[in-house]
Amino acid sequence: MITFEDFQSIVPVLIVVLAGCAALVAEAVRRKGDRMPAGIFGIIGLTGAAYTSVMMWGQHRTGFGVILADDFALFINLILCVVGLLTILLSWGTAERDHLPEGEYHTLLLFSLAGMMLMGATRDLLVIFIALEIMSLGVYVLTGIKRASAEGAEAAFKYFVLGAFSSAFFLYGIALAYAATGSTKLDDIGMAVASSISQPDLLLVMAMLLLLVGFAFKISAVPFHMWTPDAYQGAPTLVTAFMSTGVKAAAFAAFLRVFLSAFEPMRADWIPILSVIAGLTMIIGTVVGVAQSNVKRMLAYSSIAHAGYLLLGLVAASDAGKASLLFYLAAYAVTNLGAFGVIAALSSNDRPHDDIRDFAGLWHERPGMAGLLTVFLLSLGGFPPTVGFIAKWYVVNAAVQQGMIALAILAVLTSVVSVFFYLRVVVMMYMTDDKAPGDRPKTPIMVAAGLGLALVVVFYLGVQPGQVLAFARQSVEAIF
């Protein structure tokens, strides 16, 4: 029997869904020629979802038998609310300038966020799959939402086709897990895995591997990363920012919940596999990123490398590792959104402003934007006192504590190499007198506010990370 208690556990998700419905209705009733600021519905909905998540902290509610409102889910909710709010602020004016349909854009954004929030809040594989598809369908459409762009259509098609393959792997993994255990609930699968650990069930091993492939695709881990640069380059810049942060946060949330609960007894089997994937992801993301001249493509390979750093927290599998992974997700989300936000703000409808040469002499013309982009790039590179340095230090330290010295050294070395392609942009902005062709548009006030907020968070968490890290640790200690 469904009770009021069941609905209480999904209040943050419901608020986001209702905000998406409001944006959709507003677009439907808008008269031709009228401007409807659909983003306001997103701001209200995401603020409400963040507020209810804070109010529910520590209550550990369960709804419909499979939806959890524990501290882990609520922490992921807060990260996703920040991602959504910053994306909407940075889209203010720029989405209209790029001729994106605002009502559809914000509706798809909010529905995708609802799927992301649900991914981290369920203990049933089938519900995770449904949430994954809700998220993915919205992001596929957002990738190709600029209908006049042939590049965007190609990126959306590639993303959709490869995403369908990854969904098939994930669904086959669920089917094999059900065949081996008779259930899709993570608790039941965990008990079955624990009881058969002395004689591993081949079906369970295959299920684990297929689920791993599905998650690896969503987090852009090698060798399932090939879609990332094309999708990032072809999508509108702010959609790229959204998918590089929100999708990664949701996928890692589900990854953690599945592998550190249902398949935790098999950690001796999957940790070596993930260690190899983490190492290759860091190496390929960094080395290939050095060769890029397109900034969006460069940041795509940067995103791949950061997936490798995030995997360090997962393979460490300690409380410190899991907490550092959550903190890294928050740090990366704010920093990457800030970097892409600057690129989007400098772009015009006829010039995407995504080549490194487009940033030539930016310091002389727009010193404020040059300073913001410098901070965000240095944070991605791991320079103190930014949050990027602290986040990397925590995940590397967690790996060292678990005796994974080789992976920790590899993370440090690849991080040093990655500084090269971040500094290329900085050098172009400050040490080139040539001015890039074309006029750069003025920055809307809401966009400036979003970039300023991201800047404050980057420095605040870089200097005072303790409170957020404590919340991250609290969110995982009582669950896994």
pLDDT of residue 226 exceeding 70, the answer is yes
- What is the pLDDT at residue 316? 85
| pLDDT score, position 113 | 95
Distance CA 248, CA 3 (A): 33
Amino acid at 149: S
pLDDT digits (tens, 9 = 90+) for 353-372: 778 888 888 888 888 899 99
Q: Helices 39-55 & 11-29, crossing angle to 10 degrees?
A: 170
Percent of the chain scoring above 70 in pLDDT: 94
Residue 378, CA distances (Å) to 286, 288, 310, 338, 384 in order = 15, 19, 18, 12, 8
Backbone torsions φ then ψ of 237, nearest 5 degrees: -55, -40
pLDDT digits 0-9 by tens, 92-114: 877 777 777 888 888 999 999 99
Q: How confident is the model at residue 291 (pLDDT cuts 50, 70, 90)?
A: confident
| pLDDT of 199 strictly over 80 | no
Amino acid at 99: H
What mean pLDDT do residues 284-299 have?
89
Q: What is the mean pLDDT of residues 455-467?
A: 92
- Which amino acid type is present at position 84? G
Q: Where are the beta strands (DSSP E) in 199-313?
A: none
Q: How many CB atoms neighbour CB 79 within 10 A?
A: 28
pLDDT of residue 35: 66
Average pLDDT on 360-387 reads 89
Q: Are 178 and 262 within 8 A, CB to CB? A: no
Give ∠ CA 30-32-36 in degrees, rounded to 5: 40
Domain borders along the chain are: 4-477
21-39 tens-digit pLDDT: 998 888 777 766 666 677 8
Q: Is the pTM here over 0.85, yes or no?
A: yes
Residue 289: HSE in the Cβ half-sphere, 13 Å Cα cutoff: 32
Instruction: From residue 245, give the alpha-carbon distance in Å to each of 239, 251, 255, 464.
Output: 10, 10, 15, 22
pLDDT in tens, 232-290: 888 888 899 999 999 999 999 999 999 988 888 888 889 999 999 999 999 999 999 88
Whether pLDDT at 139 is above 90? yes
> What percent of the residues of the chain are helix, what percent strand, and what percent coil, each to the nearest 5?
75, 0, 20
User: Does residue 437 have a pLDDT over 60?
Assistant: no
313 or 27, which is more confident: 313
300 token code pair: 């795509």
Cα distance between residue 465 and residue 416, in whole Å? 22
The three-state (H, E, C) secondary structure of the chain, written as one string: CCCHHHHHCCHHHHHHHHHHHHHHHHHHHCCCCCCCCCHHHHHHHHHHHHHHHHHCCCCCEEECCCEEECHHHHHHHHHHHHHHHHHHHHHCCHHHHCCCCHHHHHHHHHHHHHHHHHHCCECEHHHHHHHHHHHHHHHHHHHCCCCCCHHHHHHHHHHHHHHHHHHHHHHHHHHHHHHHHCCCEHHHHHHHHHHCCCCCCHHHHHHHHHHHHHHHHHCCCCCCCCHHHHHHHHCCHHHHHHHHHHHHHHHHHHHHHHHHHHCHHHHHHHHHHHHHHHHHHHHHHHHHHHCCCEHHHHHHHHHHHHHHHHHHHHHHCCHHHHHHHHHHHHHHHHHHHHHHHHHHHHCCCCCCCCEHHHHCCHHHHCHHHHHHHHHHHHHHHCCCCCHHHHHHHHHHHHHHHCCCHHHHHHHHHHHHHHHHHHHHHHHHHHCCCCCCCCCCCCCCHHHHHHHHHHHHHHHHHHHCCHHHHHHHHHHHHCCC
Q: For residue 307, name the pLDDT band (cuts at 50, 70, 90).
A: very high
Q: Does 334 score more than 90 pLDDT?
A: yes
Burial class (CB in 10 A: 0-12, 13-18, 19+), 105: buried
Here the tokens at position 202 are 């081949």
Asked if residue 436 has pLDDT above 60, the reply is: no
Contact of 289 with 309, CB cutoff 8 Å:
no
The pLDDT value given to residue 1: 64
| Whole-number pLDDT of residue 149 | 77
Confidence of residue 305 (pLDDT cuts 50, 70, 90): very high
Mean pLDDT of the chain: 88
Is the pLDDT assigned to residue 439 strictly greater than 70?
Answer: no
Chain centroid, CA 187 distance in Å: 26
Residue 79 has pLDDT above 80, yes or no: yes
- Distance of alpha carbon 407 from its chain centroid, rounded? 23
